[in-house]
Structures are given as C-alpha cells and as structure tokens.
Amino acid sequence: MSDWMLSKCCRLIACRASEGCCFTSFLGSASWTDPICRAAVKTLSARCASECVSKFQIDQLNHSLTRRDGIPGRFSSVACLVAAILCVLLNASLVEAQEEDQAPEANPLAIVDGLLQAQQKIYIQSKDGRPLMNYTLEELRELEKVYRESKQMPAVLSSADVKAEIKDGAAEIKADYSVQLSRSGTIERLDLGLKNCQLIDDPKFESDDSPAVKAEYRVLPTQDGYQWLVLSPEPGKHRLSVTSQTVVDRSVDRHNLTIDLPIVNCVIRVTLPANAVEERVRLEDVIINRAVDASGVQLEVRSRGGSFTLDWRLGRTTERVGAVEAESETVYEPLDVMDSTQFWSATTTLNLRWYGDDGNTKVRIALPVGAQWNSLPYSEFDRFRLTTVLAEPVADADSGAVAKVEAGTDASAIPETGATQTGAGDAAASSEPQRVEVLEIENLEPSEFPEVEDLKLQWRWLPAQKMSDRSMVSYTVPAPVITGTDRHDAKVGVVFPRAMELTYQANPSVRVQRRNLAEDSGFGRQQIQFAFPDAPADVSMTFRKQQLLPTLRTTYRVHVGESQLELTAWIEGWFEGVAAELGVVPGQWVIDEQSSFALRDPNSAYTDDTTALSVRRTEDGKWIFSSREENSGEPTGRTSQVWRFKAYRKWDVKSGQEIQFDFPLIDRGIASGQPHLEHGSGLLLVSSDQSLALQSDSAACAGLFAEAMAGEYQNYLTTPSQTATAYRFQSLSAAPKWVGSAMVLAQQIRLGCDVEVDVRESQAKIRQNFDLQVSNRALIQPKMRVRSDVLPIQISMGDLLISYVEQQLSDATVQVDGTNHQWREIQLTGLPAVLGSARLTVESSVPLPPVGLGTGQLPEQSKSQQAESRVSLPLVTMQLENEVARSPVSLSVRSSRNIDVLLATDNSAVSLTTSNAARPLEMEPDQDSFELILRYRSSSNVGRLVTQGVWLQTLLAGTDRRDRFVARVRSESGQVVVQLPDQSQLDKVALDGVLLTTELAPYDYNTNRVVVALPDTGEHCVEAVYTLSEPLSWAHRLRLKPAVIEDAQPQDRCYWQLVMPGIFHLGWCPPELTAEWRWQWSSLWWSRVSDKDQSALERLLGAQILTRIPTNTNSYTMSCLGDLPVADVWVLSRFFMWLPMGLLTLFGSWLLLSFPVLRSPHTLIAVALILLSGAMIWPDMSMLLGQTAVITFLLVGIISLTRYLVDSRVRRRSVFAARPSSYLEGSGPYTVSQRARAAHSSGTAQSMPAEPTGVD
C-alpha cells in the first residue's frame, strides 16, 4: 500500500466507535474498477448490521462502488479491497465491544508455549481499552502480498496495428493490439477505441505465457467504444485482434474515413481504390509511403492515435493516352567558389508540355541532397496544384541521387534552412538515409493549360568538397531529378569567376554546350553549361586559382619648363587581393618619394584625399611601390586602385638642345616573384609653360599615336586654361619615345585704362582701372609712376589689396600751381604673378583750391556771372619693361549740380558734365595728367536745404521691421536734421558711407531726432538705419512711415523699396505711388522684377553698401515725385492666397462638372467678363491668384486623367509568380489561399471562372 493509505487506515483504527462512519467516506474516495473487488466489498458491506453503520452509509458505499470517476492511478483495486476489509472488521469489533463490556477476559490466548498460533486472532486495543481489530496470521500474510502488488505499474497498450480496406462505400478494419502486463492476479482494463465501428467477428486472443498458465480475456462494449479486460496469474505479453466495419462518408466529390483509436503509436495501412487521388490526413499524421498496385492505392500512415481522419478524391479510371515533355535549365551561382561553407544559389527554369488529356498530370522535381527551396511559385487560377513532399535519395551510379517520392508528407517535417545543413558528402558518409525536398506540380486541366513556360524555381545547395587547399577545390555538382515525364532535356550550368581555371569529369554522353561570359552576372564572370541527352547526372568539377598579373592603365603628363621636365604618372590597376605591389624602373627620371600616393577619389587627378604609398629602392635601381596594409589577412579578391607619383629630369631651355624622353618600365610580377617588365599602354599628355612653344619631331618619335585633345583629358591638367598634346601608346608596339624642341616666347602685354573723376567742392576723387592682357610669360611685380602729392593711393585687384614700396625719382619734377612736385616710383610687391587677364584699380584724390571768399561759399556775383578755376589732375601710369600695346584712355567726369567741368585743351575747352550726366572722352595712352576748368554757378532756385533724391528701404523679418533711409542732400547751414518715425529705435547713422559716432550725429531720444553735421556745403549722402516693431500675419496691413529731413526741398524722385520673406507677397501698389516693377517669366512662375534694386539705388544716390538683403526674399520698388506720402499696403502670405483660391477653383470645377447648365456659352461669357473686369482693376492681384487657379486646374486635370487611365486599364496576370516558401501548406496539395482568391475574385471570375476544389 501507499503511505497515504497506511495513514488513512491508522486514522480509521484510532477512531472511536462513534466515529466508525468515516470508513464510508474513505471507500467513496477510491476507484472501484475491478469487478472481483466490487463483489467482495458488496458482500462485506452486507455484513455491516451494527447500529454504527447506518443505512445512509451503506447507500454511500454502494454508490461509490458503481461510479467510475475515482482517483485513477493512485491506488490499485487490491489495496482498496484490503482497506474495505479492515474497515468492516473494525465496525464488527466495535459492535462486539459495545455488547460485551468485559469481553477482553474471554478472548483465547494467541501464544501457547512461546509459539504464535496460526488460527488465533490478534487483538489490538486502543488507548481507552477498546478492541480495534483482530487478524489471524494468514490474513496478515495476505495483506502483505496485496501491499507488494500495489507498487507495480498499471498496464497500458504498447502498440496498435490497423489495416483498413475500402470497398463499396464501407471500410473493413482489422486492428491488432498488444499489451505487456507487469502485475499478476489483477484484472486490467484497456480502452480499444473503435467507437464508430461494429465488430463483425469474434475477438482473437494470444499470449506468450506457458500453456499451464491460463489467462482470462473479455472484450466489452462501452460508451466510448470497446474495452479489453485481461486477468493473468503471471506477468507477460498478450495480443488481441478484432475485425470491425464502418461507413465511409462522402461530401461533394471527396470521400472521408474516420477511425477512433486509443492514444498509442499506431501504424495504419489503408487500401484505397485504384483511382484515388489527393489523399489527405491530419497535420499530426504522416504519410510515410504511397504505392499503387493491382489491388489499389496502398497508403501507410503513422499516427499517435485519437480520431484518425483520411479523405481522398476519385479520379479517372480509364487508361491514359498521352505524353509529357520537360526542358530544364539549372544555373548555379556560388558566392565564393573557394569557400565550401557557403550555400550556392541555384535557379531552375522549367518548361513543361502535355500532349493529350490522359498524360501523367503530376511532375515531381527532387532537389539534390543538401538543397533547400528559397521561393516557390504559386498557382493563381486553380489549374495547377503545387505540393512539397519529402523523399529518401536512392543512390544510382549513373544519375546520382534519385528521389523516391513519398506523397502526402507533412511539410513541417522539412528540415529548417541554416548553415548547419549537411551536404551531399555528409549524406553519403552518414549511415542514415538523408531526406531531400521534392516539389510536385499537378496539372488539373491539361487540355486547357497544355504547357508551362519559364517557371523559375529558386533554391540553394550546400556543397560537400572532395578536396581543397588554398589554390584548388573540387566539388560534385548534381542536378535536380524530374520524374513523371516521358522526355526530359536537361541543362546544368555553373557561373564562376574568370580568375578560376576549371577542369571537369562527366559521363561520355554529357557534352559541353557553351562556355563564355555569364549573362547579367557582372564583369569578370564566366559560365559553363552541360547538356544531358537522357537524364541529368553528376559532374565532378575542380576549380583552381589563376596566377593573374595586375591589369594596368597608365596616364603620363610631361610638363616642359624652362629648367626641368616634370613627369606625373597615374597608374590605375586591378590587383589580385590586398598585396598590391608594382615595380618601376625610372631610367633617366628621378622619382620623388614624397609625392607617391594612392587616390581615394579616382575621378579627381589632383585630389588631396590620398593615402601614402610605401616606396623602397632595390640595389638594381628598381623602385617598388606597395599599398599593403598591416594585418590585412589573405587576399579577398580583385581590387581597383589609382596610384600617382612624380619624377623629374633636368633640362635647360637656354642650351638649345632637343627634348627627348622615354617612359619608365613597370614590373607587374612583383607580387608573384616573377619579373614582368613592360612600358604598358595608356595616354601621354605633353604640356609646357606658356612662355615656351613646343614642337614635336614626328619622324623621331616612336610608339606614339597622336590623338585629339578630349574634354576628359582636361582632368589631368593643372589649370583649365592649360593646353597639351595627347598621344596614345600600346604595350605591343615599340618602346614609346617623344622627341621635340622648345622655343622661348616673348612676353606680350596689352594695356587698357579708363579714368573716373568725381569732382566735389573740396576735392576730386580719381579712380583708374588698368585692364591687363599678359601672354607667354607672367608679369611679376610691375612698377607704377605717381606724383608725390597724390600719395598715399589704394591699389586693389578684385577684393585683394595690393601692397607696394615707394622709391623717389630725383630727376623727374613737375610744377603745379607754382609748386614743384616730384614723381615717385612704386613697386607692387604684393601683386601675384599675372598671366592672362587681370584688372588693377588705383584710387587717389587731389584737394581743390577754395573759390571766392571762403571754402564752400559762392562769390557774390550776379546770376549771369560764374566763378571759374583751373586745376591739374595727375594720373598714375604703368612702367612696363617690354613693349606694350596701349589703348586710348577713357575719361568720364561726375560733379555736383553747381559745378560745370570742362577739359582744357590747347585751343579750346570741352564740357564734360551737363546736368550731372557724365560723358566719356578719350585721351592719349601715355598721358600722365590733364587740366580741368571748374565753373561754379549760382541759381535762384537753390534753397538752404535741397534733397537730390530719397530712398527708403523697408525690410520685414519675423516680428521686426528695419528701415534704411538714404538721402542725397546739399545744405548751406552745415547740418541736417532727420526726424525719425514714432516708436522707432535708431541703429546707426552714416555720412558718405562712413559711420558716425554720437558726437558727430547726436540723437535725441525724446524728440526722436538725429542731427548730422556736414563738412561743407557740397552734396553728401546721409543714411539712417532704424527698426520698428512690425509682426507679420497671414494678411498684414503695412503703413509707410518714412523719416523726414526738416526744411528740405525735394528736387528729384523718392523711392520706396519693400523687402519681405519669400513666402509673402505684396498685394498691389497703393495709388499714391508708382510701381517700378514688371512681370517676368522665371522658368515656372510669373514674378515681379524691379529694375531699381538695391545696387542700382546705391549707385544712383552714391550710397555705400552697408547691409545686404537676405536671400529668398521678394523685393518691390515704388516711387513718387516729392516727399514720400503716408500710404498703406497689404502684405499677403502665400498660404492665405493659395488656400482660398484653390478651394474656390475646386468648387468651381465641381460645379462645372456636376451641373451641365453652368457649361452654357452665356454663363461662361459672363464669368469671363467678371474675371476680365477684376484683372483690369487689380492687375497684380489677378496675376497672383490666376497662377494659383491654373495650378489647381492642372491638378484637377491630372486626377481626372489618372482616374480615366485606371478605369480603362486591362489587368493580365501570369499563371505562376514567386512567393516565399514559408507560405507552403504542410501535407496536402497546395491550392490558392483564401486571401489571394478573395483579392482576385473580381478579375478572375470574369475571364476564367475557377472550378470548386472541394476544400472546406
């Protein structure tokens, strides 16, 4: 007994008589399944006549005997019987103890003469003296035997073998069961299943026991089927064979067989009709064999029991007449043919053709051992069915591994893909047969779909190498086996690098169909293809590395200078692995080690993004260049690099010798250890300094072929303006050599000069622009001649200020206004060498003498009289050594309104200014000074303060507004008062481009005025920059708030330039101002362009460039006569204009398309008149909104056109398309998934309706 049962019995024995009813609850918790035990207990319970055992307790005991839901597995039936006996005896003893209070004295002795009597009972008393039980010795031995048997395992079925034969809609089932008993003398109950079956024959029993031992068997029907009862006196193995029959269900065109089996490993053999096809089982069941013989289709299925289900479909039973042809082309593409641990990707292109309706409809493609599917096709119209099965390879000497197909194999048993998949060699070495993956293609309608063209099957194969070393590897390349065809033309190809040498061994019938460059496989790969006349066989291939020399393409540039020759070499090479090494024999050239680099950007010849090369020189004068990196490992393939190095050679142009040079020799065999010297093939560019003229001797040159200078060669020249002569040379031609001569060219200079003079009351500013054209030789540090009273001067070339050194010329003097001035010579030491075009600007100034009573005051004369003075202005001249071609000097003069300037000549005077407009005048090229006549005039309309032009620039940026007020003024009082707008903050004030401090331009914060002091009564440019708070919104009303010069009389136009961000636009020009812009097409939009931009207004008023307008802005210029008025303008954001106009246009389009009455001519004419009237009233706003409407109409047109094209499109789909293999179904034939069928039901139902498949 178990420990729990012993403790239960002890508790029952220790209970008092009044608690004797507890044994019934104990009996009720046991499992009473043995009929012998149940009969014994019923007999014992009938003896319980005492008062302690009530009628309720007896009923409870009987109920526990009849129920079957006890605690299975915890106690055996014998243990329960012993417990019942103990409890009954306990109750009996309690009853006797109640009747006889002094009974213990009457009990007989159990020990006589020291011996225990076998027939005497043993009495055990409780603590209070009451007897608990009395047993004899024989009864105790029986209890000990029951305790030993209760520790043995219960009996279960060990196996089940089921055979089923389908005939005339019924199935005859013969089931064989076996059980191993470990206990004796115990009735074992075993469930047999077969719930839906009826026995048609008597059960047959067998036993391995000896004939003397007789076992008893029974087969009883139960609610869950049948039950086998076994009672054996000794442990042993027993077998049972039963024959039953059940009905086969039929649904539409499929048949279904269901057998209820016990949970045990079962082997089920089913015989189906000969025309049965498409057999299916549960996912947990596996079809391990399918064969067809004279009796029908034989299926062998392995199952774990339970409700076994098998369904099938009956096909044609007529004899087949037809044939199937197949053509396959398999191409292997290994990633690295030398690495046997990597998979080879393979693609099989299959073409199938059915002749006749009764040909074989199933074609199977078996992959080689170690191969796995990557992606499989899927059928779209239910005309083809694809199934993946497993098979065991059968070795064949001629055709390799041929797969024996096992139909209906569960796809879940396919081994997962991974790097641990064993290859063909591992399969051969293993004692267990390796399974291969098989694809089964079934054509359900050969008459409608007689062929399959270009079916792409993607798979991969892990090869097993036969032998391998660092330079050689061998493989046995198999081919997929295709069965179910009457004819099969197979081709197998392998793509491998051109750097590999291939040798192969195959059957004599195998022929090589082609061996050439691989198609669409990249540069440097080739393909070999084998054709098999009968059946594909394995081909043994050995790949060996070739010892390839690096492939080089050289480019030389030889630059001829006056003192040396410079050779620059670019070597573009393809090297085997990382050991990139070359040898160079320079000959007469001297290699510069510091200029040897490997270019990281091969498209830039002179890039600084380089890596230094390792250069060393050997004893025989050879230079070895290497780019090997440390810890680079083994070679990993061919790499491309571009190297550059320089070499020099002495040569003097003054010696008059001819130029002759050879090319360096290149050794390509440094890495392999076998020298291979050659000059190579490539390009030669010969250039020279611009001071030299080269001439080649074509008769003396060897191995060079002249070529036109192409644009791509310009990358190898240092400057775009440099020219060169191009030659080609080949490695198979003679050693290239260039022979020629060089001649020094004279320096040629062409000089032009224009002079600009700005005459004011106190001084004259002179600006001279020298235009130089230097050829053949660079101009280095030229000299200039300048008068001493003009110094210092400012010299610049573009944005570069030129420094110079002064030197006085003692022998050159000139007298000006009675004063002697000396000429000085300056040398431009800071000027870089000038070759080509250059422009030098020299700025100087000369003070003018006072006129009349004082400086800046007009003489007291009549209106008709004028004050006149003469002044001599000096010019700076260029002192050039060589002969110079000089152009005439162009003179232009600008002056104040009250000064007329005339050029004094020998006999007359030529006026240079009229109403402040300058006219250019030509002078002699070598003229170093000129004389001007200045006439000061007095006019009655000239007031105290006059403005000659006003410009206000308003810049809007975020929440701030910056105004720049510029005015050209002339004042007799010597100061100008500028009144700024309210709530403005002054930033800076400038006079004639010079920023003024608060002492020169005091600012009053209370009155918001700034006073600018003028140095004289001439014209000056006054600038004031101030800011205002002006936050922008989508539609913002902006008010013009200009600064005002107090007591000023305007005599010219005033301009307002409004600048805003690019996403804002000016709505229209106010009526108080005149627009200074025009509409111009800018590649995509019509935009407003103002001629008076910032630079033009600065030149007009003589203002300096203090600030720059930011990029991506819109600028609008407006003008008026007199002072700037107070006006309002609207600034609109692009979003504010586009959104309402776009919605309005879309709404109008919808109205026109939805209501035909609006498309009448009268309505359209009325709308056109309204739009035309609006365009005449607001032209600028109409242009802005019109562009938005046009874009909206274009979008509406594009949407309409797209909708029309989509509606008129004809969808055509192919029969097969690729899909991942993870979507394959497991055991049954594959049909179109419900999602694909639902997605394409609308298109396929019209063109070709699919037949029902019969799948629930």
pLDDT over 50 at 1047, yes or no: yes
Burial class (CB in 10 A: 0-12, 13-18, 19+), 906: exposed
Q: How many C-beta atoms lie closer than 10 Å to residue 652's C-beta?
A: 11
> Which residue, 271, 273, 441, is CA-closest to 360?
441
The number of residues making up the chain comes to 1256
* pLDDT level of residue 68 (50, 70, 90 thresholds): very low
Which pLDDT does position 1120 carry in this prediction? Answer: 87
What is the spatial distance between Cα 75 and Cα 413, in angstroms, rounded to a whole number? 41
Q: Which helix (H) or strand (E) holds 619?
A: none
Paired tokens of 588: 């007469």
- Report the pLDDT averaged over residues 47-70: 43
Question: For the whole model, what pTM was predicted?
Answer: 0.36
Return the ∠ at Cα 350 (arms to 349 and 356), rounded to 5°. Answer: 165
Note the pLDDT tens digit of each residue in 393-437. 544 433 344 444 443 333 333 333 333 333 444 443 444 556 788
pLDDT over 60 at 669, yes or no: yes
Residue 87 gets the label, from left (phi > 0), alpha (psi -120 to 50) or beta, of alpha
Note the pLDDT tens digit of each residue in 1138-1170. 677 777 777 777 777 778 777 778 777 777 777
Least confident residue range of 251-260, 451-460, 911-920: 911-920
Q: Cα 1062 from chain centroid?
A: 34
Contacts of 528 (CB under 8 A, 6+ apart): 493, 494, 496, 502, 504, 512, 514, 515
Q: Cα 1056 from chain centroid?
A: 52
Which residue carries 């690019």 as its tokens? 1062
Dmax over Cα atoms in the chain, in whole Å? Answer: 185
* pLDDT level of residue 1224 (50, 70, 90 thresholds): very low
Helical H runs in 1074-1230? Answer: 1094-1101, 1134-1154, 1161-1177, 1179-1207
**Is the CB of residue 839 less than 8 Å from the CB of residue 772?**
yes
Pick the CATH number of 157-314 from 2.60.40.1730, 3.40.50.300, 3.30.2350.10, 3.40.50.720: 2.60.40.1730
pLDDT over 90 at 70, yes or no: no
- φ and ψ at residue 275, rounded to 5 degrees: -95, 20
- Report the pLDDT averaged over residues 705-715: 87
Q: Could you tell me whether strands 638-650 and 564-576 are parallel, antiparallel, or unpaired per DSSP bridges?
A: antiparallel
Torsion sign over Cα 13, 15, 17, 18: negative
Q: Could you tell me whether strands 909-911 and 913-914 are parallel, antiparallel, or unpaired per DSSP bridges?
A: unpaired
Indicate the residue type of 1219: R
Least confident residue range of 58-62, 398-402, 773-777: 398-402
Q: How many C-beta atoms lie closer than 10 Å to residue 1197's C-beta?
A: 11
**Is the CB of residue 401 less than 8 Å from the CB of residue 1216?**
no
> Which residue, 101, 260, 97, is CA-closest to 194?
260
Return the ∠ at Cα 815 (arms to 811 and 818), rounded to 5°. Answer: 145
Q: Cα 1092 from chain centroid?
A: 50
> Which residue, 931, 820, 817, is CA-closest to 874?
931
**Is the CB of residue 474 less than 8 Å from the CB of residue 541?**
yes
Q: Which comes out higher in pLDDT, residue 999 or 153?
A: 999
Give the SS3 label for residue 119.
coil
Which pLDDT does position 119 carry in this prediction? Answer: 61
Torsion sign over Cα 398, 399, 404, 409: positive
Q: Name residue 918's beta-bridge partners.
A: 913
Which pLDDT does position 806 carry in this prediction? Answer: 85
Give the SS3 label for residue 181.
strand
- Percent pLDDT > 70 in the chain is 71
What is the spatial distance between Cα 876 and Cα 889, in angstroms, rounded to a whole number? 12
pLDDT over 70 at 27, yes or no: no
**Is the CB of residue 256 less than 8 Å from the CB of residue 249?**
yes
Which residue carries 């020009």 as its tokens? 1069
Going from the C-alpha of 93 to that of each of 19, 129, 375, 1026, the distances in angstroms are 13, 13, 83, 125
Q: Where in the chain is the domain with CATH 2.60.40.1730?
A: 157-314, 945-1135
Which pLDDT does position 466 carry in this prediction? Answer: 65
Give the SS3 label for residue 1033.
coil
* pLDDT level of residue 684 (50, 70, 90 thresholds): very high
pLDDT over 80 at 147, yes or no: no
What is the spatial distance between Cα 947 and Cα 971, in angstroms, rounded to a whole number? 9
Task: Check residue 153 and report its DSSP letter.
Answer: P
Which pLDDT does position 571 carry in this prediction? Answer: 92
551-744 is a CATH 2.60.40 domain:
yes
What is the spatial distance between Cα 621 and Cα 732, in angstroms, rounded to a whole number? 25
Task: Check residue 360 and report its DSSP letter.
Answer: -
> Which residue, 287, 285, 288, 289, is CA-closest to 309?
285
**Is the CB of residue 184 less than 8 Å from the CB of residue 233?**
yes
**Is the CB of residue 45 less than 8 Å from the CB of residue 37?**
no
Q: Name residue 1029's beta-bridge partners.
A: 960
Note the pLDDT tens digit of each residue in 912-934. 764 334 457 888 887 888 888 88
pLDDT over 90 at 555, yes or no: yes
Task: State the Rg of the chain over Cα.
Answer: 57
What is the spatial distance between Cα 766 and Cα 758, in angstroms, rounded to a whole number? 7
Residue 926 gets the label, from left (phi > 0), alpha (psi -120 to 50) or beta, of alpha
pLDDT over 50 at 554, yes or no: yes
- Report the pLDDT averaged over residues 801-829: 77
Least confident residue range of 82-91, 249-258, 651-660: 82-91
Q: Could you tell me whether strands 157-167 and 266-272 are parallel, antiparallel, or unpaired per DSSP bridges?
A: parallel
Which pLDDT does position 686 carry in this prediction? Answer: 94
What is the spatial distance between Cα 970 and Cα 1017, in angstroms, rounded to a whole number? 6
Pick the CATH number of 323-395+411-545 from 1.10.3470, 3.30.950, 2.60.40, 1.10.357: 2.60.40
Paired tokens of 961: 């507004």
- Report the pLDDT averaged over residues 636-664: 85
> Which residue, 1013, 1014, 1047, is CA-closest to 945?
1047
What is the spatial distance between Cα 780 and Cα 1139, in angstroms, rounded to a whole number? 64
CATH number for the region 945-1135 comes to 2.60.40.1730
3-class SS letters over 693-731:
EEEECCCCCECCEEECCCHHHHHHCCCCCCCCEEEEECC
Which pLDDT does position 585 carry in this prediction? Answer: 92
Q: Which comes out higher in pLDDT, residue 1138 or 541?
A: 541
What is the spatial distance between Cα 276 and Cα 254, in angstroms, rounded to a whole number? 10
Q: Could you tell me whether strands 638-650 and 623-626 are parallel, antiparallel, or unpaired per DSSP bridges?
A: unpaired
Task: Check residue 343 and report its DSSP letter.
Answer: P
Which residue carries 């160079």 as its tokens? 584
> What DSSP letter does each residue of 838-875 carry, written as one string?
EEEEEEEEEEPPP-TTSTT---S--TT--EEEEEEEE-
> Which residue, 692, 696, 754, is CA-closest to 726?
696
Burial class (CB in 10 A: 0-12, 13-18, 19+), 1110: exposed
Buried b / exposed e along 572-608 (16+ C-beta atoms within 10 A): bbbbbeebbbbbbebeebebeeebbbbbeeeeebeee
Contacts of 1168 (CB under 8 A, 6+ apart): none
- Mean pLDDT for all residues in the chain: 75
Residue 322 gets the label, from left (phi > 0), alpha (psi -120 to 50) or beta, of left
Which pLDDT does position 1211 carry in this prediction? Answer: 47
**Is the CB of residue 287 less than 8 Å from the CB of residue 390?**
no
Q: Name residue 894's beta-bridge partners.
A: 758
> What DSSP letter does each residue of 53-87 carry, written as one string?
S-HHHHHHHHHHHH---S-TTTS-HHHHHHHHHHH
Burial class (CB in 10 A: 0-12, 13-18, 19+), 748: middle
Pick the CATH number of 748-851+863-936 from 1.20.1270, 2.60.120, 2.60.40, 1.10.10: 2.60.40
- Report the pLDDT averaged over residues 114-133: 63
Q: Could you tell me whether strands 1077-1082 and 1085-1090 are parallel, antiparallel, or unpaired per DSSP bridges?
A: antiparallel
Q: Cα 981 from chain centroid?
A: 58
